[in-house]
Amino acid sequence: MALTPIPITVFTGFLGAGKTSVILSLLPQLPKDYRVVLLKNEFGDVEVDSQLAKQSSLAAVSEILNGCMCCVLVGQMKTALLEIRDKFRPDRIIVECSGSAFPATLAFQIRELERETENDLKLDAIITVIDAENFAGYEDTSPTARMQASYTDMILINKSEHVSERALDILIDHLNTLNDLTPKIKCDGRNGVEPALLFGLDSKLFLEDDQTDVDHHDEVETATIYRGNPPIPQHGHAHEHDDSDCHCSHSTDSYASHPHAHPAESSGISTAEFIGEIILLNALSSLSKETIWRVKGFVITEKGHFILNWAFGRFDLTLFDDSEQNESEGVVKLTVMGERGEVRRTARKLAEALQAKLR
C-alpha cells in the first residue's frame, strides 16, 4: 500500500515576530493522534525555543543552530527532513526558519526533495508571520523581511492587539503594496489561528524557477552572553516524546502567572548562583529595540529556572524544569541578536549588568 505523502509547512518571519508561539498554538487544536515533528533553525548556539517546544505535544523536535539553513547551512535542512521522515514518519513536518531565512531558497530545497523522494515529502505551504507592532521598523533595514512578506502562501498578522485599528489598517495597506494576492489573517492573540486555515494549502511556490537572489547574510549580528560555563555549540538533534523515558516538564506556566513559583531555597539553588530578579528586569529595560531585536536564552533567578524570550522591548519568562538543565551549565545563557555593528557593544553592557561574560 502506498504511503501518504508527508506535507511540510514552512514558517518564516523576522526575529521576534512570534513564529514559535503561533506554531505551539496550533498543536492543541489538532487530533490527539496527529503526529507533528518540528524542525527549527536559529541563530546562536543556545537551544531555547526547542526547549519550549519539547513541553508541547510535538512528536519530536530537531534544531539546527549556528547559521541559516537557506545559505550558510544549505543542505542540512534536506538531510534533517529525510532523517525525520525515516525515524518518525509523522503526519506533518513544520519547519521554523531563522529570522533572516529567504523563503524562495527553502522552497527550492523542498521542491528538490519532492523530486528525489517521488513526492513522499511535499511542500504544503510557506507561512509568513508579521509582527504588527514592529514590522514598519525592521522592514526598513531588512530586505529579507520584505521578501518574506512577498514570497509566501499566507501572511499571519501577529501581535495586532498591541496596535490601534488605524495602525493596523496602515500596516495591511502597506502589506498589500508588497503582496496584494496573498491572504492576510489576523492572529487571535496567543490563540493564534485555526490549523484548517494553514494546512492543506498545496503551495504553488517554486513550481518553476522563480528564485530571486537576495544577500541577507549581513543583516543580523549575534552575540552570546553567559555566566557560568559557556554554552557548548550545538548543530541539531531530535528529541522524541515517549512518556516512558521522557524527562521533559509539560508545564508551560509563565513567570507572570506564578510570581512566587519555584523559590530558590526549594529548588536547591544557592543564592550565589542566580541573577536577581530586579537586576534582570533593569538590564532588559535598558535595551533599545531600535538596534536590538531579539534576546533569548536561559536564566536562573531566585525563583527558579526560566526561559527568557525578549523581542522589541517585550519579554516573557517561562518556567523551565528540565532535569538536563542544571546550575553547573550556567546561571545566564543568552543569545543577543540585532543590527550589525551595534550588537556586541550593547551585549557587552548587558553582560556587565548581569555580571556575565561576552563570547
pLDDT in the model for residue 223: 86
Rounded Cα–Cα distance for residues 155 and 149 (Å)? 7
Measured at the CA of 224, the angle between CA 222 and CA 225, to 5 degrees, comes to 140
Burial 146-165 (b: 16+ CB within 10 A, else e): bbbbbbbbbbbbbbbeebee
pLDDT in the model for residue 108: 85
Instruction: Report whether 185 contacts 156 (CB < 8 A).
Output: yes
Mean pLDDT per 10-residue run, the chain (359 residues)?
A: 89 89 91 92 58 68 61 66 94 88 83 94 95 81 80 94 94 91 91 93 76 52 81 45 34 34 38 80 86 84 87 81 54 84 87 89
pLDDT in the model for residue 195: 95
pLDDT in the model for residue 172: 94
pLDDT in the model for residue 252: 32
pLDDT in the model for residue 249: 30
pLDDT in the model for residue 321: 65
Rounded Cα–Cα distance for residues 319 and 300 (Å)? 10
pLDDT in the model for residue 294: 81
